[in-house]
């Protein structure tokens, strides 16, 4: 053991010991998610007047306008004197670099007389909730024309003003500590009172933030938190969720401690033999005098379960730093790690992780431990080649990415680690190695998952800047809060090795304003670079052209739909919508020193299991009635040939990526269907553009992408289903998605020919097949040898239900989930692909049903319902464990005229 290893162990154990003699960490993080009370004003109630700021009136906004509608200028509204904005702005002061621009809190205590903030207010009649909590997801949905919340925001009651209240107490051991409240996400305009005192808040619903509760605490007795959230209507282009929808924490520290997100680990030089590691630490001193402390770092390997290795890989010598009273100081350190285990994306590489343990002690000999702070990180070399793309640890990695909104389907925006992990696992099965966070910072736990799972991330901040897309979106607060929000996300996420780029905007209106828009982009980029100089900064562009100053302002070129061209079909000629020819060559010529990627491609769409005729002969076509769509039933054909007007099919995008090898890759719009933005049918509740539906069931497009993104996986997939009673003798095309290069099709054992993929062809089409009941089979070949097989049969009538589960053992923590699929099957166990039977679920044992879904964008049954119609033969039920209650959970599914089914999940 080296001397410094010994020092680390000695220093850590200088802390106060527990009864067992084990070192007790001086920093304590307390889960604050349980035992909240919740109240929301009804639509017909007038909310309280404790408003952040005055808002403009909403006039003439079309909720169903196309996603690429040009953003418009903000509406000027004068703030009224009674708003709370002046008291909230100082909450972001730590993220404003220029001290002269920081905000001074006015005198007074707004809301002090309001009943909801008073400790003695009786909230017994309020709803008891556990965080994370999304008040809107239970519904009911708004249906029909002119709803209070339209299809764009998911037709769910996410708008309005609500309050959360919770009590907590401190122990005698907390005397003299700093007590912080951490809120990982509150939608939106959150404001916090403690014991009747307005502490602060944060308006942007996707930002994580902390507030210092210390000045307002009762050292003994009960402390009362009251949090007001105000989610405006017409404030988003997708479902935003509502309320305290991410985790909330109480953190206790010594007055001298590592600052919020105060460590940064950079690896400027990385090779197989060694890695140079640069460590920067910010230390905060909340005492009344300057203090000198010692800082020591040790680097450990970090397991997939977040356990430190038994001994450090590197231990650094202690450093003394003096911190002025009431301020913070920065400490820097350098070290080298021999033979590092590198972080890289799967499947090519392994996502090894390390953890930096930073210990702060008093400067005197054997001084006590003041703080211990752990920073997970990864060691990897990241390079960008304008002619080849992205290289990680010297290996070329083609970006096979998708865009993801933040909702978790039937669970809404309330974050759950297992639900997010399930989505990522399904995406990895398809071949995804990268995700773009559209269009906002994610929950911090999601990035911990991408670190562990080896998934690359484009971390995005804003969907709008000064110009607006909806009447009450982020443009209202951009001028006051963009620096705080941007610095906050970079400081929070900068140590995640999965994050490889920062995105400062998505299709913002400033694309249209020449140099003025470019200047905004440059200012935002400078903010990011001052926090993290190691990663490129860009914004996605759906309109800015290659010669625009906006494009030149970016570190790399990030295109939305422009690469393959926008609205190039003849029917769009003469329209006033965005029309752009295929643009990869123009951007590559104008910016030969910059990597090009497509941050949004395709925006193709389909309804799982729905096939409409006739089938388009084109490889990519817009949707119209009789041409891939049906506005009567609000469904889109699953032949996977159709896209939104400004988008393209997967086949077309693959062709343009493959013919422009300098393009680093693509991020498909999008991985999973999401709530809201139901193009092309805004009478629906959720999108059609995912390769996976809202319930997590795979669409046919999943297999088309898998055939290209996992070329070494033997796979073949047939479509459509083969239950077409009434279409006997009619043309019913059969398409094959395969990672092979040719295939032979059989109908009832009779060969219908063997076809080989032509260059730049991504599916095999047998368009002259006439329907006859029976069996459709395909044998795929690769290099002339049998490669994969698939079969589809005409089923008999529905006879029963078959249940299957993603995991049969879950944790008894009151958080973990099990996702159970109910298939409607015939007497021989074949799925009935047209079944729409109503399925009811019941549960026995230490668990509860929290949601059901079927992936049907038109289904307005509340997600919390315990019964639901099957859609294309499938229904999903989600169950959750009870906290600290172990045993078998039995789920039963029943439907009239069908044999029931049961399945067991063990909670341990």
Q: How far apart are CA 158 and CA 150, in angstroms?
A: 11
Sign of CA dihedral 515, 520, 521, 525: positive
Q: How far apart are CA 770 and CA 475, in angstroms?
A: 55
Q: Which of 34, 38, 12 is nearest to 23 (CA)?
A: 12
Q: Which of 521, 526, 523 is nearest to 540 (CA)?
A: 521
Q: Distance from first CA to last CA of the chain, Å, rounded? A: 39
Q: Active-site residue 100, yes or no?
A: no
Query: At a CB cut-off of 8 Å and minimum separation 6, what does 142 contact?
Result: 148, 149, 150, 155, 156, 157
Q: How far apart are CA 80 and CA 322, in angstroms?
A: 44
Residue 416 class from Cβ within 10 Å (0-12 exposed, 13-18 middle, 19+ buried)? Answer: buried
By the 8 A CB rule, do 410 and 863 touch? yes
Q: How far apart are CA 496 and CA 492, in angstroms?
A: 9
By the 8 A CB rule, do 303 and 285 touch? no
Q: Which of 350, 450, 437, 454 is nearest to 402 (CA)?
A: 437
Q: Which of 147, 255, 252, 173 is nearest to 210 (CA)?
A: 252
Query: At a CB cut-off of 8 Å and minimum separation 6, what does 564 contact?
Result: 582, 598, 601, 648, 652, 653, 655, 656
Cα angle at 203 between 202 and 208, to 5 degrees? 50
Backbone angles phi, psi at 348, to 5 degrees: -65, -35
What's the CA dihedral at 761, 762, 766, 771 to 10 degrees?
Answer: -160
Q: Active-site residue 507, yes or no?
A: yes
By the 8 A CB rule, do 531 and 490 touch? yes
- From 251, 372, 507, 531, active-site residue: 507
Q: How far apart are CA 359 and CA 11, in angstroms?
A: 8
Q: Which of 375, 365, 368, 377 is nearest to 24 (CA)?
A: 368
Query: At a CB cut-off of 8 Å and minimum separation 6, what does 590 contact?
Result: 546, 547, 551
Q: What is the CA radius of gyration of the chain?
A: 28
Whole-angstrom CA distances from 146 to 142, 143, 160, 682 are: 9, 9, 17, 11
Task: Please tell me the total number of residues recorded for the chain in this structure.
Answer: 908
- From 564, 600, 677, 742, active-site residue: 600
Q: How far apart are CA 682 and CA 692, in angstroms?
A: 19
What's the CA dihedral at 701, 704, 706, 710 to 10 degrees?
Answer: -170
Query: At a CB cut-off of 8 Å and minimum separation 6, what does 793 contact?
Result: 722, 774, 775, 776, 830
Q: How far apart are CA 743 and CA 784, in angstroms?
A: 10
By the 8 A CB rule, do 839 and 803 touch? no
CA atoms within 13 A on the CB side of 675: 33
DSSP-derived letter for residue 406 is S
User: Catalytic amino acids?
Assistant: 507, 600
């Amino acid at each position: 053991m080296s001397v410094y290893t010994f020092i680390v162990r000695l220093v850590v154990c200088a802390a106060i010991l527990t009864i067992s003699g084990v070192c007790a960490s001086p920093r304590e993080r307390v889960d604050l998610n349980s035992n909240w009370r919740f109240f929301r004003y009804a639509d017909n109630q007038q909310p309280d007047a404790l408003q952040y700021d005055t808002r403009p009136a909403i006039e003439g906004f079309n909720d169903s306008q196309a996603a690429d509608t040009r953003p418009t200028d903000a509406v000027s509204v004068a703030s009224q004197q009674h708003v709370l904005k002046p008291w909230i702005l100082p909450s972001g002061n730590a993220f404003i670099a220029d001290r002269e621009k920081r905000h001074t809190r006015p005198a007074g205590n707004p809301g002090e007389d309001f009943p909801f903030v008073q400790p003695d207010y009786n909230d017994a009649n309020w709803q008891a909730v556990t965080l994370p909590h999304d008040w809107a997801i239970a519904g009911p949905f708004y249906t029909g024309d002119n709803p209070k919340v339209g299809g764009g925001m998911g037709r769910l009651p996410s708008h309005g003003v609500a309050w959360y209240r919770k009590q907590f107490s401190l122990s005698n051991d907390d005397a003299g500590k700093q007590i912080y409240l951490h809120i990982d996400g509150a939608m939106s305009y959150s404001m916090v009172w403690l014991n009747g005192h307005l502490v602060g808040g944060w308006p942007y619903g996707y930002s994580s933030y902390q507030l210092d509760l210390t000045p307002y605490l009762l050292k003994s007795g009960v402390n009362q938190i009251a949090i007001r959230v105000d989610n405006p209507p017409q404030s988003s282009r997708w479902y935003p969720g509502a309320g305290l929808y991410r985790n909330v924490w109480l953190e206790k520290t010594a007055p001298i401690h590592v600052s919020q997100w105060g460590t940064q680990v950079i690896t400027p030089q990385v090779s197989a033999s060694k890695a140079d590691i640069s460590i920067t630490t910010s230390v905060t001193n909340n005492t009344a005098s300057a203090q000198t402390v010692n800082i020591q770092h040790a680097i450990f390997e970090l397991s997939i379960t977040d356990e430190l290795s038994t001994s450090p890989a590197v231990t650094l010598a202690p450093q003394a730093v003096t911190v002025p009273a009431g301020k913070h100081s920065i400490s820097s350190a350098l070290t080298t790690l021999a033979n590092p285990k590198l972080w890289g994306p799967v499947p090519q590489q392994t996502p090894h992780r390390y953890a930096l343990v930073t210990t702060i002690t008093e400067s005197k000999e054997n001084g006590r431990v003041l703080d211990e702070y752990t920073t997970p990180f990864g060691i990897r070399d990241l390079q960008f080649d304008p002619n080849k793309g992205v290289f990680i640890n010297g290996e070329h990695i083609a970006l096979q990415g998708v865009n993801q909104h933040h909702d978790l389907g039937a669970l809404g925006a309330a974050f759950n680690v297992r639900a997010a992990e399930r989505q990522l696992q399904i995406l990895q099965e398809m071949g995804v190695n990268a995700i773009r966070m559209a269009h906002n910072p994610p929950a911090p736990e999601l990035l911990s998952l991408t670190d562990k799972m080896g998934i690359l991330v484009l971390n995005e901040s804003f969907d709008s800047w000064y110009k607006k897309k909806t009447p009450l979106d982020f443009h209202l607060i951009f001028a006051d809060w963009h620096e705080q929000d941007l610095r906050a996300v970079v400081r929070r996420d900068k140590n995640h090795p999965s994050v490889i780029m920062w995105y400062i905007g998505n299709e913002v209106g400033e694309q249209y304003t020449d140099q003025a828009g470019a200047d905004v982009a440059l200012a935002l980029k400078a903010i990011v670079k001052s926090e993290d100089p190691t990663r490129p900064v860009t914004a996605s562009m759906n309109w800015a052209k290659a010669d625009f100053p906006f494009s030149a302002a970016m570190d790399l070129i990030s295109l939305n739909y422009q690469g393959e061209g926008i609205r190039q079909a003849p029917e769009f000629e003469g329209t006033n919508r965005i029309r752009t020819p295929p643009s990869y060559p123009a951007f590559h010529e104008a910016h030969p020193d910059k990597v090009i990627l497509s941050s949004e491609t395709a925006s193709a769409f389909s309804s799982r299991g729905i096939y409409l005729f006739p089938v388009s002969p084109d490889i990519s076509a817009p949707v119209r009635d009789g041409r891939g769509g049906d506005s009567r039933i609000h469904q889109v054909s699953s032949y996977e040939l159709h896209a939104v007007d400004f988008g393209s099919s997967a086949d077309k995008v693959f062709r343009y990526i493959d013919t422009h090898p300098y393009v680093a890759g693509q991020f498909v719009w999008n991985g999973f269907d999401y709530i809201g933005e139901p193009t092309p049918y805004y009478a629906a509740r959720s999108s059609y553009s995912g390769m996976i539906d809202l319930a997590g069931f795979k669409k046919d497009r999943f297999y088309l992408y898998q055939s290209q993104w996992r070329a070494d996986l033997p796979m073949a997939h047939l479509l459509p289903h083969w239950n077409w009673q009434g279409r006997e003798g009619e043309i019913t095309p059969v398409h094959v998605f395969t990672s092979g290069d040719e295939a032979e099709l059989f109908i009832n054992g009779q060969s219908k020919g063997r076809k080989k993929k032509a260059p730049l062809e991504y599916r095999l089409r047998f368009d002259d097949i006439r329907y006859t009941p029976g069996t459709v089979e395909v044998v795929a070949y690769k290099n002339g040898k049998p490669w994969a097989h698939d079969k589809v049969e005409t089923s008999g009538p529905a006879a029963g239900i078959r249940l299957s589960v993603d995991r049969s053992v879950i944790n008894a923590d009151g958080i973990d989930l099990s996702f159970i699929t109910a298939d409607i099957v015939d007497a021989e166990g074949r799925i009935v692909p047209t079944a729409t039977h109503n399925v009811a679920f019941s549960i026995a044992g230490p668990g509860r049903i929290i949601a059901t879904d079927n992936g049907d964008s038109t289904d307005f049954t509340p997600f919390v319902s315990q019964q639901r119609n099957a859609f294309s033969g499938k229904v999903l039920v989600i169950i959750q464990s009870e906290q600290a209650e172990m045993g078998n959970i039995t789920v039963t599914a029943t439907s009239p005229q069908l044999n029931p089914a049961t399945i067991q999940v063990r909670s341990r």
